[in-house]
Structure 1
Amino acid sequence: MKKIALLFIVLPLLLSAQQVEGEWFGSVKIAGRDFRLQFNIAKSGDSLRAEMISLDQGARATEADVVEYEGDSLMIGINKINLRYSGIFGGDSIKGTFSQGFLKVAMNLYREQRSAQTQRRPQEPQEPYPYISEMVTFRNGDVTLAGTLTLPRGGEARAAAVLVTGSGAQNRDEEIMGHRPFLVIADYLTRNGIAVLRYDDRGTAQSTGDFARATTLDFAEDARAAVKFLSNRGFEKIGVIGHSEGGTIAPIVAVEEPELDYIVLLAGTGVRGDSIVLMQSDLIAAAMGANVIQRGMNRAVNRTIYNKVLAGESREQIAQYLQKTAMMPADRAEQTAAQMTTSWYRTFLQYDPEPVLEKVTCRVLALNGEKDLQVPCKENLEAIDRALVKGGNRDYKIVALPGLNHLFQQCDKGLPQEYGTIEQTIAPEVLEIIRDFILFPTIL
């Protein structure tokens, strides 16, 4: 994790600083669910540093970049996730307020030790597996991709699948918030006679290459290399199963590799990238309690920012706009502008999947959860349907799944904050639909 420089405040009373040091625990309710938080405050020279751990979302520490302590008043800020905690120190407790984005709620911290419980993931398989699990590597130019190929034991595979992850640097299991969706999918399909190849994104885990400089189109070439690897191993009926950005990549591979038997789009996109992020931010804001006025202002600012990015404005220009119009602190504005002006982000905003979907001739299964706030269900499934019809493809199936979020979990609101608190990794019905689509192509 990249460390962010702290804004140190010199404290006149060292004793007071020592009193607030230590581990602090609290919980915040978001969309009806309690999320346990741990703040670790420590001395750093004559000042303080802090980190936050969301115990229900992977238990990874996030470094604070603002720590202020004056008298009995404490403020901890983590700009990259727009989080603030402000409270009054009272010996064995800190009484204060937690805020993130549109959310602002009371939250008290206590010194009581609460060990983070091991997250239950009942769907994750345990060794020994009833199939062969082989560590493999394959190449795309000068990039070496490392992965796992799972094979049915005692017989030939009835089909084969390549799993392609969503956005962000993902390992072969698409690990997120304590879940490993691709491990669960690969296990289920292989137990049902399907060979599955899943791999670490370039520049991630055991794969080489530069993730930071890559775009969706580069990741599509990696996926093509995975398909060719399976083909060279002698597999037939090869398909691509892509989640989120992987669901955008799968149609690209299908067009470039016409021998592909099928593609499965798990929350794949059907509309342009800038439309996706506008809908995404609005739906998440609404689920977090933003009112109509706040949402309208948020949409207007975001639309302007995306237009500036698409117009090719520089990182410095974007950062200045964020500071002046969005009233964003300078350090957070710089960080946000740096993310929004990468090659990947610019490509994502302007990428329209429709022309590619129109060219797909293989079988297509498109699934979306109706509570997906990241790739909204209705708009994207309808766009995928229109594109396939326009291109003359009649061999497809589109399914909207009630009650499921972006990870295809049964959920409450669909907020990303919920993912780690849900025991279920992926709804069993999703696994069954994928299996039946691959093995029984005449059933649509």
Structure 2
Amino acid sequence: MLPERNSRLRRALVRLLAALAVGLVLAPPAHADPAGLVERDVTFTSGDLALHGTVIAPDTAGRHPAMVMVHGSGRTSRDGYRQEAEAFARSGIVTLIYDKRPKRSKSDVDFELLAGDALAALRALTTHPGVDPARTGLWGVSEGGWVAPLAAAGSPDVAFVVTVGAPGVAPERQQSWNLANRLAAAGVSGSLVDTVTRTTLGLLVGAGLFPESGYDPAPVLARLTQPVLGLWGDLDRVIPGAESLRVFQESLDRAGNREHTLRTVPGADHTMRRSPDGFQRGDEISPDYLAQVAAWVTATGPRAVDVGPPSRQERQSTPVEPGSPAVQLVAVALLLVAFAGYGLSAAVRRHRSAPPVRRPARLLATTGLLSVLGLVGYLGHLASDGAKSLGAVVLGRPLPWLALQALAVAVVVAAVVTAVRAWQVRTDLAAGRRVRLGLLVAGGVLFVPWAVHWGLLLP
């Protein structure tokens, strides 16, 4: 029995080892490189910060042109650029994608720091096997269209610059234009457009909550001597493409740059995805865009000046005037004291007989308080998500805005009625009541210019 048992154990062990061997042969490696490409993870330092990235290279011998892909705003991971990086690598361009430096908050943006990160990535890329340092440059999309030229203007190590959807205007101007497009696409018209794109944005700028808001890219572009390829989607709704192309052209001409190509890509949105209207982002990257970048970067010899026609731009961007946070804080505080103060004092004195102005006064206090708090909350909500969550739109107005405008009208009517009735019975009012009603009516008077400023009493 023992030899037979040992024989069965040996046969089972052989079958197990055979199955494991087959599994090892058939199973794919844990980190398989894409077909025809070679990947290598890298770590490099920018100042005191360690950044991590991946170099994606063609699996061919020789020295290749190379470029670092510089992020747009918001995204922190290299994976969002992998698809393009692999396409460029298959065209013979070694690419480096990296994780963007972490942000402490939405307002934590510093173009100089980001430019330093891009140059640190470029230095790491030039040491990679198969890279030609003399043909290694920067690619930047959206916000990267501000950062990549800034890095290149300060470093002779950058051989070329490629920008995609690069703004030629200041960030506050670009964002105002973007928000106006988004609101128009949602069917919003009237005073809310100016309230969001100018008044609210201007207050954020004045409060220092919109970092780099006044950054002017033109002087930086006017210092670029390296070859530049600028591409804009003709369906870009995020940045003013026609204006930006013109700023690039004028600035590079001032620099005496004789190697720049500026073109519009048909059917492409802000990030060069194919889109029916520029608002609906597709999954497919424009093949025309990929082909143009590949041909331009891998070209040998000088590149001639080539400027194509700009995209059609329905509205021009305009500067945003900074608002005064101090003035607005004082105004809101006075309104809250006037409206909430009357309600609190009325609650304390509810056992006393009410004067004839009781109902309109309470209506004024209630609607005024709701209107002020509602506006602050609603605009805070729109600012936090970039006016993306508007909800149902009726008569060109989102329902919350329509309700706030109705409340504002009620405040004005209640203020007028309260003032008239208080004047009619002024001789019957005790001194304390006159003071309370006077403060309440004063709040109603102050509310009118404040509400006009914020668009509540405008069509």
- By the TM > 0.5 criterion, same fold? yes
TM-score scaled by structure 2?
Answer: 0.55
C-alpha distance in 1 between matches for 2:235 and 2:149: 24
Tell me if structure 2 keeps the 8 A contact 1:169–1:201: yes
Tell me if structure 1 keeps the 8 A contact 2:33–2:39: no
Any idea what SS the aligned residue of 1:150 has?
Answer: strand
Compute the displacement of 1:259 (Å). 2.9
Higher strand share: 1
C-alpha distance in 1 between matches for 2:194 and 2:260: 34
Of 62, 77, 85, the residue aligned with 1:186 is 85
- Structure 2 residues without counterparts, runs of 5 or longer: 1-31, 305-459
TM-score scaled by structure 1?
Answer: 0.57
Compute the displacement of 1:151 (Å). 1.9
Residue 246 of structure 1 corresponds to which residue in structure 2? 144
The answer on 1:380 being equivalent to 2:244 is yes
Residue 171 of structure 1 corresponds to which residue in structure 2? 77
C-alpha distance in 1 between matches for 2:196 and 2:97: 38
Of 291, 294, 298, the residue aligned with 2:193 is 298
Alignment of 1:115-154 (within 5 A): 128-154=34-60
- Deviations along 1:127-153, one digit per CA (max 9) or x if unpaired, are 543121001110011111100001222
Alignment of 1:348-363 (within 5 A): 349-363=213-227
Alignment of 1:48-87 (within 5 A): none
The answer on 1:217 being equivalent to 2:112 is yes
Tell me if structure 2 keeps the 8 A contact 1:202–1:210: no
Residue 268 of structure 1 corresponds to which residue in structure 2? 166
1:128–1:404 distance in 2 versus 1, CA, 3 Å = closer
Query: Which amino acid counterpart does residue 42 of structure 2 have in structure 1?
Result: V
Tell me if structure 1 keeps the 8 A contact 2:107–2:211: no
Alignment of 1:290-329 (within 5 A): 290-291=188-189, 293-294=190-191, 297-311=192-206, 313=207
Any idea what SS the aligned residue of 1:305 has?
Answer: helix
1:399–1:263 distance in 2 versus 1, CA, 3 Å = same
Tell me if structure 2 keeps the 8 A contact 1:247–1:269: yes
- 4+ aligned runs moved over 6 Å, structure 1: 209-212
Query: Which amino acid counterpart does residue 197 of structure 1 have in structure 2?
Result: L
Compute the displacement of 1:170 (Å). 2.3
1:365–1:128 distance in 2 versus 1, CA, 3 Å = closer
The answer on 1:346 being equivalent to 2:211 is yes
C-alpha distance in 2 between matches for 1:265 and 1:275: 19
Compute the displacement of 1:300 (Å). 4.7
1:410–1:128 distance in 2 versus 1, CA, 3 Å = closer
Higher helix share: 2
The answer on 1:278 being equivalent to 2:137 is no
- Structure 1 residues without counterparts, runs of 5 or longer: 1-125, 175-181, 314-340
C-alpha distance in 1 between matches for 2:139 and 2:298: 14
Any idea what SS the aligned residue of 1:350 has?
Answer: coil
Tell me if structure 2 keeps the 8 A contact 1:267–1:375: yes
Compute the displacement of 1:212 (Å). 6.7
CA RMSD after TM alignment: 2.2
Compute the displacement of 1:173 (Å). 2.4
Query: Which amino acid counterpart does residue 203 of structure 1 have in structure 2?
Result: P
The number of residues matched between the two structures is 269
The answer on 1:289 being equivalent to 2:289 is no
1:210–1:283 distance in 2 versus 1, CA, 3 Å = closer
Any idea what SS the aligned residue of 2:211 has?
Answer: helix
Query: Which amino acid counterpart does residue 254 of structure 1 have in structure 2?
Result: A
C-alpha distance in 1 between matches for 2:303 and 2:169: 27
C-alpha distance in 2 between matches for 1:148 and 1:138: 11
